[in-house]
């Protein structure tokens, strides 16, 4: 850590005196209160990014003044946050499964909910030291990279339709030194044709087009969020096509919306998957479903 730039000091927009770190944080938290449930945290994370320090640094340097250059950049990033831009796009990073992932507006910001899927995938593969895994719609690479970090002997294929997303995922893998991944572009199961996996995992888009929640997600790529009029288009495709790429006893593990558990179980059973099971997350919501292929239903 190094101290913030000091000179010349600038006041927070509403102040008369040059603003110190503490003043700027109070101003920023106030400016974000209306738009964010985590206004103070957002204010701190955005300032840490500019000062290249951690949150403890903000306490240590609470009385130091910000330089004009940093103050201007901070005010600009607080304004973008106030207009709804997610913190992760402003800082360009998001932690997932304790991995520091770089994110851009080309990829969905990985959610803590998806760590639940990673946990379940690892349990599912606990007896398999060198599994073959596929992550469909990898985005930033979150699921594939988390699994790679836990299963060094696994071979993992990560796919996406978006070339930009794949570039981001590939870059994250390089930064993290995770080498056992292969990145392929294509439509759901198409890039896996002719191969069989122990586990196919996916957090596909599952929001219905026209869902009012999309307004709050307007900075994220629409293709990462929506899947047809009922939100099930991608889930249907994956459930239908995955059997051609699963080993006998291999699993398809899907994240889905909290109200879609019943529907996904129905799709899997209808297609002939066995041991279909949905698990609830810590909030008691049905967020992930698995089905095994090639066993008696
Ligand atoms: C909900 S995001 C999940 C991203 C990442 N796996 C995560 O959990 O953070 C869905 C991803 O699916 C990709 N996608 C959308 N349609 C696709 C398709 N037809 N084939 C492959 N990937 C697709 C999107 O580009 C996006 O990266």
Atom of ligand 1 nearest to the CA of 225: 1
Q: Structure tokens of 134? A: 């596929």
Q: Structure tokens of 62? A: 């609470």
Mean pLDDT calculated for residue range 25-48:
96
pLDDT band at 7 (very low <50, low <70, confident <90, very high): very low
**For residue 75, pLDDT beyond 90:** yes
Query: Identical fold at 21-91 and 105-292?
Result: no
Q: Structure tokens of 207? A: 């929001």
CA distance 148 to 156: 7
Mean pLDDT calculated for residue range 40-48:
97
Residue nearest to ligand 1 atom 26, measured at CA: 224
| CATH number among 3.40.50.720, 3.30.230.10, 1.10.8.10, 3.40.50.300, domain 21-91 | 1.10.8.10
Burial of 210 per CB tally in 10 Å (0-12, 13-18, 19+): exposed
Nearest to 264 by CA among 283, 288, 295, 247: 288
pLDDT of residue 104: 97
Q: Distance, CA 200 to ligand 1 centroid (Å)? A: 14
- 73 touches ligand 1 (CB under 6 Å): no
pLDDT band at 18 (very low <50, low <70, confident <90, very high): low
Q: Which fold has domain 105-292?
A: Rossmann fold (3.40.50)
With the most atoms of ligand 1 within 8 angstroms of its CB, the residue from 116, 202, 204, 209 to mutate is 204
Reported as a single tens digit per residue, the pLDDT across 139-170 is 999 999 999 999 999 999 999 999 999 999 99
Element of type H or E holding 132: strand 132-136
Residue extents of the structural domains in the chain: 21-91, 105-292
pLDDT of residue 6: 43
Mean pLDDT calculated for residue range 70-74:
92
Residue nearest to ligand 1 atom 6, measured at CA: 138
**For residue 16, pLDDT beyond 70:** no
Q: Distance, CA 229 to ligand 1 centroid (Å)? A: 17
């Amino acid at each position: 850590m190094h101290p913030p730039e000091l000179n010349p000091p600038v006041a927070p927009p509403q102040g008369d005196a040059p603003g110190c770190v503490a003043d700027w944080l109070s101003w920023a938290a106030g400016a974000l209160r209306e738009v964010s449930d985590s206004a103070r945290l957002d204010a701190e994370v955005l300032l840490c990014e500019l000062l290249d320090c951690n949150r403890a640094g903000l306490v240590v340097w609470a009385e130091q003044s910000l330089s004009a250059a940093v103050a201007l950049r901070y005010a600009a990033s607080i304004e973008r946050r106030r207009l709804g831009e997610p913190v992760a796009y402003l800082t360009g990073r998001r932690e997932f499964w304790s991995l520091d992932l770089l994110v851009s507006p080309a990829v969905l910001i990985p959610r803590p909910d998806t760590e639940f899927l990673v946990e379940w995938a690892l349990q599912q593969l606990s007896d398999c030291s060198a599994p073959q895994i596929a992550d469909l719609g990898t985005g930033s690479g979150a699921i594939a990279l988390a699994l790679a970090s836990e299963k060094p002997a696994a071979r993992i294929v990560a796919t996406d339709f978006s070339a930009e997303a794949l570039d981001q995922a590939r870059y994250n893998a390089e930064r993290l030194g995770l080498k056992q991944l292969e990145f392929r572009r294509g439509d759901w199961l198409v890039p896996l044709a002719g191969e069989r996996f122990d586990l196919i995992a996916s957090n596909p888009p599952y929001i219905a087009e026209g869902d009012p929640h999309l307004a709050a997600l307007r900075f994220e790529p629409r293709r990462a969020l929506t899947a047809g009029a009922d939100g099930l288009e991608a889930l249907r495709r994956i459930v239908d096509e995955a059997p051609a790429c699963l080993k006998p006893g291999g699993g398809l593990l899907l994240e889905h919306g909290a109200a879609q558990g019943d529907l996904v179980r129905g799709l899997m059973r209808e297609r002939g998957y066995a041991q279909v099971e949905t698990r609830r997350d810590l909030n008691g919501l049905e967020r992930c479903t698995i089905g095994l292929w090639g066993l008696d239903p």
